[in-house]
Amino acid sequence: MPSIADILREAARSISNTLALDLTTSRIEVQCLLQHVLDVQRAYLLAHPEQLLNEAQRSTFDVLLQRRMRGEPIAHLLGEREFLGLNFKVTPATLIPRPETELLVELALQRLPQGVASHVLDLGTGSGAIALSIADSRRDAEVVAVDASKEALAVAIDNAQKLHAENTRFIHSDWFSALGDERFDLIVSNPPYIATDDVHLTQGDVRFEPLSALVSGMDGLDDIRRIIQEAPSFLASNGWLLLEHGYDQAEAVRALLKRSGFVGVFSEKDLAGIERVSGGEIG
């Protein structure tokens, strides 16, 4: 039977060659798979490189490795993804939470003072990562999360229960359609924003994610247009709307926000220097 060190070296090389990933990234992925199979922390792998896997452990690892080399996302293989220090269950029914989306949560929290009761809406919640991260940091806020997918909502509800997020409420809704006359101090959304013919839809993890959570018309802005147009009717006075969008959409999103009466319109760059989130305030 191979040792932990053997598997780290050989499997990392296999993933790197097959998926054209750098060896550092591939090694991290193999560590994640080994942690999952052995049910240990990363520190254990580093402290016990000589440990041999038994036959059952090696068989389980090999199945996961082959699935990864066919392109399946690590998050789907492990069934979870970390986001802002919290672990979220993910399935093929939801988007995989990504580091750049953490900016959206950080900007939301800046507009929600500690100790103040606030009413927050997360549109298209998916796994619930955005809504539940806000709810975890602002226990005085009531966070309403909606999604048009019942399967995605079930995942978000599971995550809420695991995180004991009692200040959240989940609604099956096509954007605002089931919200009646509710008003919110803050609306956040990471909506679909990829163009229908974008070549990236055939690459990487997005091949395994729901198209309905990715694609939004020929220019990728159909859902963003709808959200911006309808949001003022659901925002309280001086309420904010914050939207994640594509790398080249910030200027268009700012124009849409201004056209719908938002003020203080801005775009914020992520850690890669890309304008990733835009927003504005309603008077």
Looking at the chain, the domain(s) classified CATH 3.40.50.150 span: 80-281
10-residue mean pLDDT series, the chain (283 residues)? 93 95 94 96 95 95 96 94 95 94 98 93 98 97 97 97 97 97 97 88 83 89 97 97 97 98 97 96 90
pLDDT at 214: 87
Which residues, at least 6 apart from 190, have a Cβ–Cβ distance to it below 8 Å?
95, 101, 104, 124, 126, 130, 243, 244
Looking at the chain, the domain(s) classified CATH 1.10.8 span: 4-71
Mapped onto helix, strand or coil, the DSSP state of residue 120 is strand
pLDDT at 69: 94
Q: What is the C-alpha radius of gyration for the chain, rounded to an integer number of angstroms?
A: 21
pLDDT at 245: 97
Mean of pLDDT over the chain: 95
CB of 52 closer than 8 Å to CB of 46: no
Mapped onto helix, strand or coil, the DSSP state of residue 80 is strand
Mapped onto helix, strand or coil, the DSSP state of residue 234 is helix
pLDDT at 283: 78
- What pTM, to 2 d.p., does this model score? 0.91
80-281: CATH number = 3.40.50.150
- Listed residue (260, 257, 185) closest to 277, CA to CA: 257
Q: Residue 54 is which amino acid?
A: N
pLDDT at 118: 97
Which residues, at least 6 apart from 137, have a Cβ–Cβ distance to it below 8 Å?
105, 109
Long-range residue pairs from 82-87, CB within 8 A, at least 24 positions apart, any chain: 83/129, 83/133, 84/129, 84/133, 86/129, 86/132, 86/133, 86/136, 86/163
Q: Residue 25 is which amino acid?
A: T
| Residue entry with tokens 């998050």 | 75
If residue 239 lies in a helix (H) or strand (E), which one and from where to where? strand 235-244
CB of 121 closer than 8 Å to CB of 144: yes
Q: Are strands 275-281 and 86-89 parallel, antiparallel or unpaired?
A: unpaired
Each residue of 26-62: pLDDT tens digit?
999 999 999 999 999 999 999 999 999 999 999 999 9
pLDDT at 212: 84
If residue 30 lies in a helix (H) or strand (E), which one and from where to where? helix 23-38
- CATH architecture assigned to 4-71: Orthogonal Bundle (1.10)
CA distance 282 to 47: 55
pLDDT at 77: 95
The two structure tokens encoding residue 159:
């995550």
The two structure tokens encoding residue 163:
């995180």
pLDDT at 10: 96
pLDDT at 209: 86
